[in-house]
Amino acid sequence: MKNLFLILSAIILLASCKTQKNSTAKSTPSFEGKLVYSLTFEDLPAEYEAYASMFPKEMTMYVKGEKSRTEQPSGMGNTITIVDSKEKSMFIILDMMGMKNAYKLTPEEMEKQKGSASKPEIVYSDETKTIAGYTCKKAEITQDGLTSTVYYTEEIPSGHSKNFGDLKGFPMEYTIKANGMTIVTEVKSVSTEKISDKFFAVPEGYEIKPYSEFPSMGG
């Protein structure tokens, strides 16, 4: 069950991190709006089949320039991640088992989240597919011996994270392979809309704690 919780946390962290702006990239118009993702779990190991109904089916991300808020409801509870890459601040907010906590990461802890993985190698393809009305191109990303297929669009300002290297577009579909299962995350819809700055603050009713107290494999 602890492994399952960590996998679900990794999905939302991956989505949140990719909206962070690459400071070395050329300036691009900022995006403000909402993206809705579908999550599909394939090749479930036997030990996870009993928990299949608890897995999240959808994830919603709100973006305003360098700020993002990602919401992931599941049978275990609700998870919200709020990132401000300009201010180098991040909160992981959990509403689970009757507890409402917001874990604050320091800039150093955010940097540590990048881990020690090697730089991804990207091979681009001319193959395309339409996702949520956007024409997307295919890329194969290999990192530490693992290869994932990503479909990206150049119609949305690109974010940057180690998980996608210097991918020259916004990832609209990607896979995560963990603990013997495959997780496919795909954008279902994109809408441009105005979002209040207040939406990127920790909601009322949550206790703010240091990230060192975030639930882990040990407890």
The pLDDT score that the predictor gives to residue 156 is: 83
β pairing state of 99-105 and 207-210: parallel
Confidence of residue 16 (pLDDT cuts 50, 70, 90): low
**Residue 9 has what pLDDT?**
60
Residue 10, in any domain of the structure: yes
pLDDT, one tens digit per residue, over 107-133 is 888 777 666 567 788 999 999 999 999
For residue 38, is it within any domain? Answer: yes
Q: Which residues contact 196 (CB under 8 A, 6 or more apart)?
A: none
Q: Select the highest-mean-pLDDT range: 49-53, 77-81, 190-194.
A: 190-194
Q: Give pTM, 2 decimals.
A: 0.80
pLDDT(138) > 90: yes
Coil/strand/helix, residue 211: helix
Supply the CATH number for residue 16's domain: 2.50.20.10
**Position 66 confidence tier, pLDDT thresholds 50, 70, 90:** confident
Closest CA to 80 of 88, 89, 39, 90: 90
Q: Does 218 fall in a domain?
A: no
Task: Report the distance separating Cα 126 and Cα 192, nearest Å.
Answer: 28
Domain that residue 105 falls in: 2-213
* CA 58 centroid distance within chain: 12
Give the model's pLDDT for residue 219.
41
* 136 within domain boundaries: yes
Is residue 74 a part of any domain in this protein? Answer: yes
Asked if the structure places residue 80 within a domain, the reply is yes
- Across the chain, mean pLDDT equals 81
Closest CA to 100 of 214, 5, 213, 207: 207
Least reliable range by pLDDT among 48-57, 58-67, 80-89, 134-143? 48-57
pLDDT above 70 covers what percent of the chain? 79
Query: Is 152 domain-assigned?
Result: yes
Q: Quote the Cα angle for 60-105-35, to 5°.
A: 15
H helix intervals, 72-218: 107-112
8 Å CB contact between 140 and 116:
no
How many separate domains does the chain show? Answer: 1
> Has residue 219 been placed in a domain?
no
Could you tell me if 36 and 58 are in contact, meaning their C-beta atoms sit under 8 angstroms apart? yes
